[in-house]
Copies of this chain bind each other. A is one copy, B any other.
Amino acid sequence: MENEPLLMLPGPVPMPERVRQAMMRQAINHRSAAFGEVYADCMRVLKTVSGTANDLFVISGSGTAAMEAAVANFGRGRRIVSLVNGKFGDRLRRIGDRYGSVTPIEPGWGMPFDLSAVESALEAGAEVVTMVHNETSAGIRNPAREVGKLAQEHGALFIMDGITSIGGDVVEADRWGVDVAIAGSQKCLAAPAGLSAISVSGKAWDMLAEDRPFYLDLEAYRKSAAKSPPETPYTPAVPLFFALREALLIVEEEGVLPRAARHEQMAQAVRSAARAWGLDLFPVIDDIHAYSNTVTAITLPEGISDAGFRGGVRDLGVVIAGGQDHLKGRIFRIGTMGAVGAPEILATLAAVERVLRRHGIPVAGDGVQAAAEVME
């Protein structure tokens, strides 16, 4: 088989060889010391990268399963203020609608939240706040610390989707007042898709719903994780746990802060390339610190279709993302997550620049060299 193309998506991302090898291991009994060790390692490093000392569990299911677990266990029947500035914020809002009563704060994709509106909703009695930390659909990093502070001041529960920040950007759940932090496996952690993690504060446990789902009943996760050796309540996706453990050991070896710094540098390199080309980042905002460090959204220039553009890049062996929903055909997105580095970024930007030039798009300067300068 020829090589798989290079995935420069906001997940899934290429997995290191060590991670792939870990999956090859023969089946083991998941009620055993051998599995318990693997699960314990996963919980330990996931707590570190999430910046939490709270309980934390791994769910055999995608990030969406963990999002639903958060809202179904702690938001049922409650008043929820849901911060929406992209596709995943909208998903949390829709999950909120199934379980509670939602007040949305919705400035438009990629637009900043009006924190005084959040405060008003909390003063009006909202008990739960949901927000996506890193909104990949719009290339934006949302103000988790500020929202966490507001939630804490009003005694509300803060559920934060950190699926595309945890392991790639600085996340300090406990310091920021995040009660429930959600992580995904196939994003900045560079593990395979199929697992998610969820942390639970004492305040969240106090708000545990009586009427909970079955597969995603976090009380069952708590009981099973407290056993010795720790277990999951239902059969876990064992090979994915082997792989996640290996990916997390790699994160631990690199160090959480150096890894976040590397992700920031990679995103800066892509942003520098866009500036050199004279292409607008999406959205155009003043606060440079609000741009994501794990994915960069760039406005697709006039004169080229999304299919023609990304197809051309794909022909050079690199897969990048388009826009989602109403941003389809208006932006393209380059993920800088996980185990990738200068070679992958330079290859991606070179392919993008080649396709832009080939389609006669005026390109101001040399984006690849601008990125290389940042990556030195």
Which positions in A face B, CB cutoff 8 Å? 3-4, 7, 9, 11-15, 20-21, 23-30, 60-65, 67-68, 72, 94-95, 98, 184, 186, 192-195, 211, 213-216, 234-240, 243, 319
Q: Which 3 pairs across A and B sit closest by C-beta, in order of nearness? A: A194-B237, A62-B235, A4-B26
Assembled-state Cα–Cα distance A184/B193 (Å): 19
Assembled-state Cα–Cα distance A195/B64 (Å): 16
- Which of B20, B24, B25, B27 is close to A186, meaning CB atoms less than 8 Å apart? B27
Say yes or no: A239 contacts B98, CB within 8 Å.
Answer: no
- Give me 20 other A-B pairs in contact (C-beta within 8 A), A21-B24, A64-B215 excluded: A4-B28, A7-B28, A11-B235, A12-B235, A15-B26, A20-B23, A23-B23, A24-B24, A27-B192, A60-B60, A64-B234, A64-B235, A65-B234, A98-B214, A186-B238, A192-B238, A193-B235, A194-B235, A194-B240, A195-B237
Say yes or no: A30 contacts B4, CB within 8 Å.
Answer: no
The minimal Cβ–Cβ distance linking A28 to chain B, given in whole angstroms, is 6
Enumerate 7 A-B pairs (CB-CB under 8 Å) in ascending A order: A12-B235, A13-B27, A23-B23, A63-B235, A98-B214, A192-B238, A215-B216
Known: A26-B4, A213-B213. A237 touches B235 (CB 8 A): no
List the B side residues contacting A243 at CB < 8 Å: 239
Say yes or no: A319 contacts B29, CB within 8 Å.
Answer: yes
List the B side residues contacting A235 at CB < 8 Å: 11-12, 62-64, 184, 186, 193-194
Say yes or no: A29 contacts B15, CB within 8 Å.
Answer: no
List the B side residues contacting A28 at CB < 8 Å: 4, 7, 12
Known: A23-B23, A60-B62. A239 touches B240 (CB 8 A): yes
Assembled-state Cα–Cα distance A194/B11 (Å): 20
List the B side residues contacting A60 at CB < 8 Å: 60-62, 65, 194, 237
Assembled-state Cα–Cα distance A27/B60 (Å): 18
List the B side residues contacting A234 at CB < 8 Å: 62-65
- Which of B9, B186, B214, B239 is close to A194, meaning CB atoms less than 8 Å apart? B239
List the B side residues contacting A14 at CB < 8 Å: 26-27
Assembled-state Cα–Cα distance A26/B7 (Å): 10
- Which of B21, B25, B30, B211 is close to A193, meaning CB atoms less than 8 Å apart? B30
The minimal Cβ–Cβ distance linking A67 to chain B, given in whole angstroms, is 8
List the B side residues contacting A195 at CB < 8 Å: 237
- Which of B15, B24, B67 is close to A27, meaning CB atoms less than 8 Å apart? B15
List the B side residues contacting A24 at CB < 8 Å: 20-21, 23-24
Assembled-state Cα–Cα distance A217/B323 (Å): 25
List the B side residues contacting A3 at CB < 8 Å: 26
